[in-house]
Structure 1
Amino acid sequence: MKTSPQPKGPWIHRFSIRIFTVVLAILVYWVLGFLVEDIKSIKGPQYDEIERKHVDQTLVERDKNLVADIAELDRAISNKREEIRIVGDSSRNLQETITQMIELQKLSVQKSITLPEAEQTNLSESLSRFLEYQRRYQEYNAELSALTDRKQSLESERLIVKRKIEQQQKPARDEYQRLAEKHRLRLAAFQLMILIPLLAVGVFLTVKKRGSIYFPLFLGYGAAVLLKVSLVVHAYFPSRYFKYILVTVLLVAVARLLIYFIRVVAFPKAQWLTKQYREAYERFLCPVCEYPIRTGPRKFLFWTRRTVNNVVLPQEAHGDKPYSCPACGTALFEECPECHGIRHALLPHCEHCGAAKEIAENSGNSGSGNLHQAASR
């Protein structure tokens, strides 16, 4: 197959291609996110509707009434306690006043002093009010006790009602969970029904169009869809299942990559062969077996792939001659049939006249058998 070098273009263009590939992936992911959210908005089962089918509504209504009655009793008990507090404070204040008046009366008796009629009247009225406060205090306490008993009775009744409601709610919760899980799986199926075909298209384009100039377009699209599919699977499938799905996908991906690289090594394409041969020639190593190419001024020198740049070459002039690797027999330098100059036998073009040779694909690493004379320039 005849190969022709492809121009890489300015670095700013290559950089822009990478940047816009990432931007394209983000936008595709964004659009898929809108699509997934629209699917998630599909209405699912409503617990209130399911509960009404299983729970006796008279019990629910009774529970609401009991809650309202208990709240009303709480307010009444709070008000009654406030009244008891006020009466108690008044009674204590009045008791202190009466005590002071009695002490004053005792003192007047001891000193044979007669109290005014008004003081006697105040003492009598104070005693009457004190007795009234005591009566009201006992009455309020009795009312508070009655309210407390009523509240306890209602709370006991509500406890019984709540137990009956909870017994009836259990099948309602079970049915809701079953329907919610079914709805959840339905949403996952809807999302995957849309995403899986898009992912298949992305994988197909990415694999089949690797050599296309539009490959970054397909790569960004495929990566965005793959990420969204992974997140959807992780969100809707239990972790114990997701780990098996993830490992299976990784196994398939690793096996596919392994097969690809094995085929690249066993049946290399022209572009990979050219790159391999070019790098080997740059290090003066045989492209097939990596034996040093000892020709010209390097004939009696030694080097490796790492030390090739540290070798000091002698200043003697040596003429170019055809050369074959003494280790594997691969022809490395040969005479060009066009200009009759010495050229690299495994590279596509002659360095003197530019005459082309075709590099055969899928022919293994068989040295000179990989190259065939192409007669065209």
Structure 2
Amino acid sequence: MKTKKHRGSFVLRFMVFGFSVAVGLLAFWLLGYIVRDIDRVQGPNYSQMLEEGLPQELQDERQTLAAQLLDLKQQIASTERRRQLTGQTTRDSQQTINQLLELKRNADENATSLSDEQKLALTDSLQLFLANQSQTQTLNAELSNLNDQLDDVERQQRENEEAITRVSRPIADEYEELAEQHQWKLAAYKLALLIPLLLVCGWLFVRHAGGTYAMLVYALSGAVAARVLLVMHDHFPAIYFKYILILLSLAIATGVLVRLLRLIAKPSRDWLLRQYREAYAHFFCPICDYPIQRGPLKFAVWTRRSLKKRTPVTVDGDAATFDQPYTCPCCETTLFHACKKCGGVRHSLLPACEKCGAGSVLEQEAATGSQD
């Protein structure tokens, strides 16, 4: 006799589902930490390779030119500030001279003369203005000279960078090759850990699918499979990962389709029992889906959609007159027959009689065969 499966209460099923999701997430999290630890394996260092491969004279020249460039920029900034201050002083002196000349013009018109202090101030302002003009010209010349030097250093720096680029191109190619090899090495380390786990999960999935620990197996298998896909996505080139993902999806879809076709051709007992139970509950033949028109529904017509809207039929008289053996008129399948133990009418395709609990003939033969 087959052992009955207990579904449990809604709360218990909800807790099982919740903890299964938690186990899957924690396993995915744990595998993520392990994968990140593998990523700590040191790969090629481009800066170190560049420092070792570049000629020392080019490196020294680059540092020298960078220092000269910085010094020239500072000198230009300082000279520019001095020129601005000198220009401001020149403008102030010019304004003072204009005011003194205006006073002298008024004095000439009035037949008077400037005081000695005003004459001295005018003379000093003129000397200061001329000195500032001379200093401005000197600063402009110095600034022009510094800009010429800056242009020359920048030209030398560009030539140096071009020379370094020519020399470093083979180093960059070597680094890219080593970096690609390092990525493949990391992928090999990670897959060497994950592929055995995936195979174990696959074996458990085949052995325990639909069993007591099915939810646990599903959670762990999903976590490992998701982590394997992420590792492949991170390390495999896009063109390879695209084909791998398509082939993997094709294999999974083909496996599911083959399983469904086998299930249709040779359905399991549980699958048939579920199909029969649902068909009987909706008053349809489990074999051909023809309406079961017996008892109060003898002359009724309905579909699966209209059945939910139909009001219950009131049964008048003895119910035994409606509970009679019944054969589907469409596929000739016996759907209700008299029980051999109690004589009551029972469902032919369900395992037990609803009146006495006796099993079907197939159940009894299976039990007898197991005892032998």
TM-score, normalised via structure 1 length = 0.84
Structure 2 vs 1, CA of residues 76 and 290 (structure 1 numbering), >3 Å: closer, same or farther? closer
Are the aligned partners of 1:357 and 1:374 in contact in 2 as well (CA < 8 Å)? no
Structure 2 vs 1, CA of residues 342 and 47 (structure 1 numbering), >3 Å: closer, same or farther? same
What do residues 264-319 of structure 1 show as CA deviations (whole Å, max 9, x unaligned)? 12112221222222233334443333445455555x53545525674847645427
CA drift of 1:248 comes to 1.4
Are the aligned partners of 2:351 and 2:359 in contact in 1 as well (CA < 8 Å)? yes
- Between the aligned partners of 2:296 and 2:102, the Cα distance in structure 1 is 136
- Between the aligned partners of 2:265 and 2:183, the Cα distance in structure 1 is 48
Query: Match for 2:17: what amino acid?
Result: R
Number of corresponding residues: 365
Structure 2 vs 1, CA of residues 338 and 163 (structure 1 numbering), >3 Å: closer, same or farther? same
Structure 2 vs 1, CA of residues 121 and 228 (structure 1 numbering), >3 Å: closer, same or farther? same
Structure 2 vs 1, CA of residues 263 and 115 (structure 1 numbering), >3 Å: closer, same or farther? closer
- Between 1 and 2, higher relative CO (CA 8 Å, sep ≥ 6) is seen in 1
- Between the aligned partners of 1:308 and 1:346, the Cα distance in structure 2 is 22
Are the aligned partners of 1:54 and 1:171 in contact in 2 as well (CA < 8 Å)? no
What do residues 235-277 of structure 1 show as CA deviations (whole Å, max 9, x unaligned)? 2233333332222122111111111111112112221222222
Query: Match for 1:202: what amino acid?
Result: C
Unaligned 5+ runs, structure 2: none
SS, match of residue 332 in structure 1: strand
CA drift of 1:215 comes to 0.8
What do residues 307-338 of structure 1 show as CA deviations (whole Å, max 9, x unaligned)? 56748476454275555445444343344343
TM-score, normalised via structure 2 length = 0.85
Are the aligned partners of 1:3 and 1:348 in contact in 2 as well (CA < 8 Å)? no
Q: Does 1:43 align with 2:42?
A: yes
Are the aligned partners of 1:3 and 1:358 in contact in 2 as well (CA < 8 Å)? no
Unaligned 5+ runs, structure 1: 361-370
Are the aligned partners of 1:88 and 1:137 in contact in 2 as well (CA < 8 Å)? yes
**233-242 or 243-252: bigger deviation:** 233-242
**Which residue does 2:238 correspond to in 1?**
239
Matches within 5 A, 1:360-375: 372=365, 374=367
Identity of aligned residues (%): 36
CA drift of 1:110 comes to 6.0
CA drift of 1:80 comes to 1.5
Runs of 4+ in 1 over 6 A off after TM superposition: none
- Between the aligned partners of 1:320 and 1:96, the Cα distance in structure 2 is 125
- Between the aligned partners of 1:284 and 1:91, the Cα distance in structure 2 is 110
- Between the aligned partners of 2:342 and 2:110, the Cα distance in structure 1 is 156
CA drift of 1:208 comes to 2.0
Structure 2 vs 1, CA of residues 101 and 278 (structure 1 numbering), >3 Å: closer, same or farther? closer
Structure 2 vs 1, CA of residues 288 and 125 (structure 1 numbering), >3 Å: closer, same or farther? closer
Are the aligned partners of 1:3 and 1:270 in contact in 2 as well (CA < 8 Å)? no
Alignment equivalent of 2:359, drawn from 356, 360, 363? 356
SS, match of residue 273 in structure 1: helix
Are the aligned partners of 2:325 and 2:338 in contact in 1 as well (CA < 8 Å)? yes
Query: Match for 2:194: what amino acid?
Result: L
SS, match of residue 351 in structure 1: coil
SS, match of residue 155 in structure 1: helix
